[in-house]
Amino acid sequence: MKDLELVGDVTDFLLLEAELADASAYDEWLALWDDPCTYWVPCNLDDYDPTKHVSIIYDDRARLEERCFRLTAGGAHSQEPRSKVCRVVGNIRVVNPHGEDDTVEATARTILVELRLGRKSVYAARVHYTLRRTPEGFKLRHKKVLLLDADEPLGNMTFLI
Amino acid sequence: MADYAALVQPDRVHSAVFTSEDIYKDELEKIFYRYWVYVAHESEIPRPGDYCTKWIGEKQLIVSRAADGSIGIFFNRCRHRGAAVCMDEYGNANFFRCPYHGWTYNSAGDLVGVPYPSRYGEGFDKSTLGLARVPRVDTSAGFIFASMAPDGPPLAEHLGKAAGFLADFVKASPLGTVSLSAGTSKSAFWGNWKFVGMDGYHTNFTHKTVLDLRQRKAGASYNRGAGNSDKSANESWDLGNGHCRLDLTGRDKVAIGAASNTSIAAGIPDNADGHEYMRLMSEAYGDGAHEVIRRSRDVHIHVWPNLQLIGSQVRVIRPLAAGHTEVMSYPAMLDGVPDSINTERIRSFEWFSGVASFGTPDDTEVFERNQIGLRADYIPWLVLARGLTVAPQEDGSTVGNVTDEVPQRAQMKAWLRSMTSPEVS
């Protein structure tokens, strides 16, 4: 029997995360994340060991805070003007309702259109989320974004993926 | 053809050098398909039968290690009707078989199999139909270079003073070798390939947020931007032949002498792996280990035309059009060190480099704005006059303040020579 209430709660959270990322609402977006946490966008291949292989993004909590600080401090030319981003999160599935540390694991697909300086780019990704249950609701423990283009030459990816 | 000498003046360069498609095509012929260019690293094809595919300009190449261990570079094109015979970026194979009619080549590029050969008649000589080979291949400190000109100065002569920095770069490993085994950060931008240079003047402006982040970490003690100003002891160098570098050690020069070990060790973790790394380095290089590490870490060089070594990073520049460039970046892993030392090199690479990092995206943003600006060529000149009066030293190097346009002028000088010289010189 599916726990439809859990699927609904997870869906609400993932869509909120997507909305805040689209809106470049860096503070509110950062507030969704757990401490510690990992924001991982692998490079070249999906399952490379990040201790032995370069990633497009491999942020721990401290680096994630640096990322958001950088994008709000002024002078991040690659986001001035900011990217306009519109993403759809679909195919949401709870793949493990009872993960370690009172977490829920979910997967989804994202199609993301970015518009900046008159140029439109389309990205697609499989995304793996680990959400920790807290009294205040879910916190994002891990987000792993498997870009379709992870092994292709990419342009400016400084928007929130 | 354009009057190149009129486009490159001692203190200025014309926008057409960056925006003209005709000039881009001529650059491929005169520079990339003629002079020594960096192609691959030995660690990408360590064993016999290993191969990787790379590009020089618009031509795809197979870099292959033959059974005898020698390195051959071949054009990725079947000698029969031209199909590419290899589609993988990396692999190991005894043979490359064309998918079209089954012609088969070994890893030394020899044509070893042709289906139904009887219909070619007598005189058909397979030995003349091997994969076309790039005529000159040579290596320096594990870096593989190629030249499509059958004759010309040897690689060592082309590299000149740059060779010492390639050697310094790999010595951060106690074995003296690095591996490009940690993958490739692949990027492209809509701007000219020559914008990827050595520039000590842009740091405080283009990388404002990097200074913000360093200041955030270091607090009030951070001497913001001091190393990148006209008051800095840091330097910009013209090494000859278009090779140039930045020397960013100026601020530490006083500290680095005999009692300098603490400032060098500052970047090495104070834990078991860090101590083990230092032990291995002392075993390999004796009392000079700290100096070896410092020199390696401070490598910040552009090897004309398409290779940069920056700290722990190998960066390769490939022009795709006048206004379109691909950059492949590799964090160089040190052979023979504890794993965590290399993990730290990867994390440090990701911080500044790569398409979603805190450093290089701001550079490429500027390069794209260059390409927009240069089209507004009512007054077409770019000014490269900073430090113009700095005189060359006795050994031929020119050394200026870090913010001087010494590297830009060095590259345009080499560019002009290549574009106007009838022969490889």
Mean pLDDT by 10 residues, chain B (425 residues): 92 98 98 98 98 98 96 98 98 96 97 96 94 98 98 97 98 98 98 97 96 90 86 94 92 42 62 95 95 92 98 96 98 98 96 97 98 97 96 92 97 97 82
- Tracing tokens 């892993």 back to the chain, one arrives at B333
User: Which residues on A lie below 8 Å from B354 (Cβ)?
Assistant: 43, 54, 56
**Are B387 and B400 in contact, with CB atoms under 8 Å apart?**
yes
- Substitution target in B55, B186, B340 with the highest count of A β-carbons within 10 Å is B186
Does the beta carbon of A4 lie under 8 angstroms from any beta carbon of chain B? Answer: no
pLDDT at residue B227 in the model? 87
pLDDT at residue B284 in the model? 98
Closest partner CB to B356 (pick from A77, A151, A158): A158
Positive or negative CA dihedral for A18, A20, A22, A27?
negative
B252-264 per-residue burial string, b: 16 or more CB within 10 A, e: under 16: beeebeeebeeeb
pLDDT at residue B220 in the model? 80
- As given in the structure block, the two tokens for residue B43 are 């660690």
- Tracing tokens 């006059």 back to the chain, one arrives at B385
CATH of A1-147, one of 3.40.950.10, 2.60.290.11, 3.10.450.50, 1.10.420.10: 3.10.450.50
**Are B20 and B7 in contact, with CB atoms under 8 Å apart?**
no
**Are B119 and B8 in contact, with CB atoms under 8 Å apart?**
no
Report pLDDT digits (tens) over B322-374.
999 999 999 999 999 999 999 999 999 999 999 999 999 999 999 999 999 99
**Are B95 and B63 in contact, with CB atoms under 8 Å apart?**
no
Closest partner CB to B355 (pick from A77, A151, A156): A156
pLDDT at residue B425 in the model? 65
User: Which residues on A lie below 8 Å from B364 (Cβ)?
Assistant: 78, 155-156
Q: H-type helices in B89-223, by residue range?
A: 155-159, 163-170, 203-206, 208-218
Of B267, B273, B271, nearest in space to B311 by CA: B267
Does ipTM come in above 0.85?
A: yes
- Tracing tokens 């078991």 back to the chain, one arrives at B272
Would you tell me which residues 47-86 of chain A have a C-beta closer than 8 angstroms to some C-beta of chain B?
Answer: 48, 50-58, 63, 66-67, 69-70, 73-78
User: Which residues on B lie below 8 Å from A48 (Cβ)?
Assistant: 183
- Substitution target in A44, A121, A156 with the highest count of B β-carbons within 10 Å is A156
pLDDT at residue A1 in the model? 67
pLDDT at residue B226 in the model? 85
User: Which residues on A lie below 8 Å from B214 (Cβ)?
Assistant: none
pLDDT at residue B193 in the model? 98
Q: B interface toward A at CB cutoff 8 Å?
A: 181-190, 206, 208-209, 212-213, 216, 326-328, 330-331, 339-340, 342-343, 346-347, 349-351, 354-356, 358, 361-362, 364-366, 368
**Are B148 and B135 in contact, with CB atoms under 8 Å apart?**
yes
Nearest CA of chain B to the CA of A90: how many Å? 24
Dihedral Cα B359, B365, B367, B370, nearest 10 deg: -140
Nearest CA of chain B to the CA of A155: how many Å? 5
Positive or negative CA dihedral for B156, B162, B168, B173?
negative
User: Which residues make Cβ contacts (< 8 Å) with residue B291, sequence separation at least 6?
Assistant: none
User: Which residues make Cβ contacts (< 8 Å) with residue A122, sequence separation at least 6?
Assistant: A111, A112, A113, A114
User: Which residues on B lie below 8 Å from A55 (Cβ)?
Assistant: 346, 350
- As given in the structure block, the two tokens for residue B319 are 């022009």
User: Which residues on A lie below 8 Å from B208 (Cβ)?
Assistant: 74-75
Q: H-type helices in chain A, by residue range?
A: 4-22, 26-31, 61-72
Q: What angle do CA B397, B401, B402 make, to 5 degrees?
A: 95
pLDDT at residue B357 in the model? 98
Closest partner CB to A53 (pick from B182, B326, B362): B182
User: Which residues on B lie below 8 Å from A154 (Cβ)?
Assistant: 186-188, 355
In chain A, which stretches have pLDDT less than 70?
1
User: Which residues on B lie below 8 Å from A155 (Cβ)?
Assistant: 187-190, 355, 364
DSSP labels, B126-147:
GGG-SPPB-SEEEEETTEEEEE
- Substitution target in B181, B217, B355, B369 with the highest count of A β-carbons within 10 Å is B355
Segment holding B340, helix H or strand E: helix B339-352
Of A126, A125, A127, A153, nearest in space to A44 by CA: A153
What is the identity of the amino acid at B60? Q
